[in-house]
Amino acid sequence: MSATKPVHAAQTLFPATQGSLLVGGVPLERLAQRVGRTPFYAYDRALVTERVRQVRACLPAAIGLHYSIKANPMPALVQHLAGLVDGLDVASGGELKVALDTGKHPADISFAGPGKNEVELAQAVAAGVHVHAESEREIRLLARIGEALGVNPQLVLRVNPDFELKGSGMRMGGGAKQFGIDAEEIPRMLALAAQLGLTVLGFHIFSGSQSLKAEAIAEAQAQTFELALRLADGNRDPVRVLNIGGGFGIPYFPGEARLDLQPIGDALAAALPRVQSALPDARLNIELGRYLVGEAGVYVARVIDRKVSRGQVFLVTDGGLHHHLAASGNFGQVIRKNYPAAIGNRIGQAEMEVVSVVGPLCTPLDLLAEKMALPRAEPGDLVVVFQSGAYGLSASPGGFLSHPDALEVLI
C-alpha cells in the first residue's frame, strides 16, 4: 500500500526523521527512554510559544490574552505560558495555587466557575485575584469575606449571556445554565453589590467552546460587546475589565480545518473603536485554553500485545481512557470519532493495516483508535495520539482499574 493517505492537520506540526516522530526535536524512542516508562504525555514548548505568537499576530494589541488553566494545569506548562500571556484564568482553589506560584500578578489572575466554596473564595480575596461571581450567594459571601479580611474583593460578574456561540462543541452560554448570572439579572446584582459596598470591576461573558468557524466567533464577539455596553450602562463605576470569552477550537477529526484567525482579528479591530470610546477604562481580554496547548501535546502508549479476533487486529497498549478519556470518545462526544494517531516509530512505513488500538481496561469503551489505517505494528512500538495537549490527563478517570498514572513532560 502506498503512503499517500491524507495526513491530519495535527501531524504536520510534528516532523519525523528516519521513521521516527520528533517531539520537541527529540526522536520518540529516545524521548521514551528519557521519560523512563510509558504511557506519557509530552508537550512541545516551542509549539506553544509559536501558537501564542500566531494569536497575538492576528488579534489587535489592545486585546489581552489569557490562558484557561483547566485545559492543561501541568505546573511547568502553566509556568511557560505565564511568561507568554497577559493573564491566567483558574476554576478552583487548586488551579489558583498553580497560577499564583507562577509569580503572575494577582490582578492578572481571574477565578471563575460555579459553586466556589468559602475557603477558596477567601484565598482568592486574600491573594487579590479577580473573582468572577457566578451567583448572588457568591456576591454576598465575597462582601462578608472582604469585611472579615479587611481586603476589598476584586469583583467581576460572570454573565450568562442571552445568546450562544453557534456550532460550538460545548454550549456554555444562552438559555438556562449553571454558569454565570443571567444577563437580565445583572442590574439587580449591580444594585446588590453597591448596597454591600462592593465595586464591580466589570463583566465576563463566555458564550461557548471549540468552534472552528471564524464567522460564528466574530458574531458572538459582536453580541458580547453589545451586551457588555448595555450592562455597563447600569454600573455605578467605570468598567475596568471585560472578558469576552474565547471559544477558539482545534481540528480533532478528519475533514475539520484549522480555525482562520484573521477574520476574527479583523472583526475585533473594527469593533474596538466604539467599545473603547464607550468603555475607556476597560481592559479587554480573551481567554483561550485548548487553542494554545491542545495541538502542542501528544499522548504516547506502548503496544503490549497484538491480537487478532475474528479477522480484526487489536493493538493492546499500556495506555487508554484512564489517561485520555477524550480520545476514547467518552468526554461528552455524541458520536465517537478517532483522534488523529500514528505509530510514532514507524512514520512513513509502507506496510499498512487497519487496526483498533485499545487500552488495558476491562471495558469496550477503552478505545484509542477504532479501525484506523496505521503502519503495521508489533509489541514494543509506540502509539501516538495527537491533539492531546488539552483536556487529557487532568480530564481523565485516572483511578479506574488502578493502573499507574501517565507521566507528563514539557520539552
List 307's β-bridge partners, or say none: 314
Nearer to ligand PLP, 7 or 170 (CB): 170
Q: Nearest approach, Cβ of 73 to ligand PLP (angstroms)?
A: 12
Those residues with Cβ within 8 angstroms of residue 36's Cβ, 6 or more apart along the chain or in another chain:
407
Nearer to ligand PLP, 33 or 117 (CB): 117
Nearer to ligand PLP, 283 or 290 (CB): 290
Q: Nearest approach, Cβ of 287 to ligand PLP (angstroms)?
A: 4
Nearer to ligand PLP, 68 or 388 (CB): 68
Q: Are 163 and 221 in contact (CB under 8 A)?
A: no
* Identified binder of ligand PLP from the candidate list 146, 173, 174, 246, rule CB under 6 A: 246
Encoded one letter per residue, x for contact with ligand PLP by CB under 6 A and - for no contact, window 109-138 reads ---x--------------------------
Encoded one letter per residue, x for contact with ligand PLP by CB under 6 A and - for no contact, window 166-185 reads --------------------
- Tell me 379's DSSP state: T
* Identified binder of ligand PLP from the candidate list 11, 20, 38, 68, rule CB under 6 A: 68
Q: Provide Rg for the chain, Cα atoms.
A: 23
Q: Give residue number: closest CB to ligand PLP.
A: 289
Q: Are 27 and 346 in contact (CB under 8 A)?
A: no
**Virtual torsion, Cα 229, 233, 239, 243, nearest 10 deg:** -30
Nearer to ligand PLP, 174 or 246 (CB): 246
* Identified binder of ligand PLP from the candidate list 163, 291, 299, 386, rule CB under 6 A: 291
- Residue type at position 332: G
- Residue type at position 210: Q
Q: Nearest approach, Cβ of 29 to ligand PLP (angstroms)?
A: 31
Is the link from the previous residue into 254 a cis peptide, with omega within 30 of 0? no
Nearer to ligand PLP, 384 or 390 (CB): 390
Cα separation, 37 vs 59, whole angstroms? 41
Encoded one letter per residue, x for contact with ligand PLP by CB under 6 A and - for no contact, window 72-111 reads ----------------------------------------
Q: Which of 93, 156, 103, 159 is nearest to 126 (CA)?
A: 93
SS3 193: helix
Length of the chain counted residue by residue: 411
Cα separation, 301 vs 368, whole angstroms? 10
Cell of 159: 454573565
Helical axes 118-127 vs 93-101, angle rounded to 10°: 20
Nearer to ligand PLP, 88 or 369 (CB): 88
Nearer to ligand PLP, 182 or 370 (CB): 182
Query: How many CA atoms lie less than 13 Å away from 154 in the CB half-sphere?
Result: 18
* Identified binder of ligand PLP from the candidate list 51, 70, 283, 302, rule CB under 6 A: 70
Q: Nearest approach, Cβ of 26 to ligand PLP (angstroms)?
A: 27
Those residues with Cβ within 8 angstroms of residue 69's Cβ, 6 or more apart along the chain or in another chain:
78, 88, 89, 90, 91, 95, 98, 99, 289
Nearer to ligand PLP, 152 or 394 (CB): 394
In this chain, which stretch among 68-76, 186-194, 224-232, 265-273 interacts with ligand PLP, using CB under 6 A?
68-76
Residues 205-224 binding ligand PLP (CB under 6 A) are: 206, 209-210
Q: Is 39 in the site for ligand PLP (CB under 6 A)?
A: no
Secondary structure E strands in 235-391: 241-243, 283-288, 297-309, 312-317, 341-343, 352-358, 367-375, 382-385
Nearer to ligand PLP, 3 or 170 (CB): 170
The residue with cell 476574527 is: 264
Q: Nearest approach, Cβ of 259 to ligand PLP (angstroms)?
A: 11
Site size with ligand PLP, rule: CB under 6 A: 14
Residues 271-290 binding ligand PLP (CB under 6 A) are: 287-290
| Cα-Cα end-to-end distance for the chain | 34
Interacting residues with ligand PLP (CB under 6 A)? 68, 70-71, 112, 206, 209-210, 246, 287-291, 390
